[in-house]
Amino acid sequence: MTVNLAINGAIAIITLNRPEKKNALTVEMREGLIAHLQAVRFDDHVRAIILTGAGDAFCTGADVDRMGGADLRAARQRLQRLSHTYMRLLHAIEKPVIAAVRGHAVGIGWSLVLGCDMVVASETAIFSQVFKRIGLGPDGGAIWYLTRRLGMNRAKELVFTARMVKAAEAMSLGLVNHVVPDDQLMAKTIELAEEMAEGPTFTLGLAKKLFHMATSVSLEDFLDMEAMVQPQLNQTVDHKEGVAAFREKRKPKFIGR
């Protein structure tokens, strides 16, 4: 399998598994990624998701050897059917998704990272919008994500230069949450995923929806949405447990409901 799914307790780990090609994405890998994301999306036993790559790279983008050969209509449909589908799934899953990045995450590989909720990078991590080197524009929503996180000028500079961004700079730009030694990457990511999985995951999922809206609507529209979400959360089992634990001065035991 070129994309693997392992479920350890409440954590799902999805691994791009083509290390001999630096996890460059093929059509089959994209289809596998979609299938695994769909499988864990509504699995109540899965409360946090890790996305990573096997070997010494996260993902070096699309497999260039398999590019071309499609007319305009076919290329458009392939993008919508594959890349856009898994990016939409990452965006829509109401569970924390954490990227564990070792080595290169470039092209659509960086788009995948940007689509995750949090990022743990090893000191070897390198990011780049390499598309211009093969005469393409970014895909997978990269410009959408970078513009919202960095502002237009910085986002343009990364796209127009296609330069490499090392882990320390990505951290300073706010594009990753943690930078750790290479041999600590998965341990740190699993630690973070376990923390998320022990939390009120239904609540975190709806908070994720609010974050999505925060950069695209007016304050009035956002507050209207907040007024719909918060009363729902007031009725959850996890909220009642959180209040009880606070009063009893103990650690809450959340179940994601």
Q: Comparing C-alpha atoms, which of 161, 106, 152 is closest to residue 128?
A: 106
- Over the stretch 170-220, which tens digit does the pLDDT of each residue have? 999 999 999 999 999 999 999 999 999 999 999 999 999 999 888 887 778
- The amino acid present at 215, given as its one-letter code, is T
**3-197 with 201-248: one CATH topology?**
no
pLDDT of residue 32: 96
- What are the sequence ranges of the domains in the chain? 3-197, 201-248
132: phi > 0 → left, psi -120 to 50 → alpha, else beta; which?
Answer: alpha
Q: What is the pTM of this model?
A: 0.90
Least-confidence region, from 40-44, 84-88, 96-100, 134-138: 134-138
Cα 170 to Cα 147: distance, rounded to the nearest angstrom = 14
Q: CA torsion sign, 240 to 229 to 93 to 51?
A: negative
Residue 31 has pLDDT above 80, yes or no: yes
Can you name the CATH fold of 3-197? 2-enoyl-CoA Hydratase; Chain A, domain 1 (3.90.226)
Which CATH superfamily, name and number, covers 201-248?
Lyase 2-enoyl-coa Hydratase, Chain  A, domain 2 (1.10.12.10)
Instruction: Indicate the pLDDT class of residue 69, thresholds 50, 70 and 90.
Output: low
Residue 4 has pLDDT above 90, yes or no: yes
Q: Comparing C-alpha atoms, which of 82, 1, 43 is closest to residue 15?
A: 1
For all residues of the chain together, what is the average pLDDT? 91
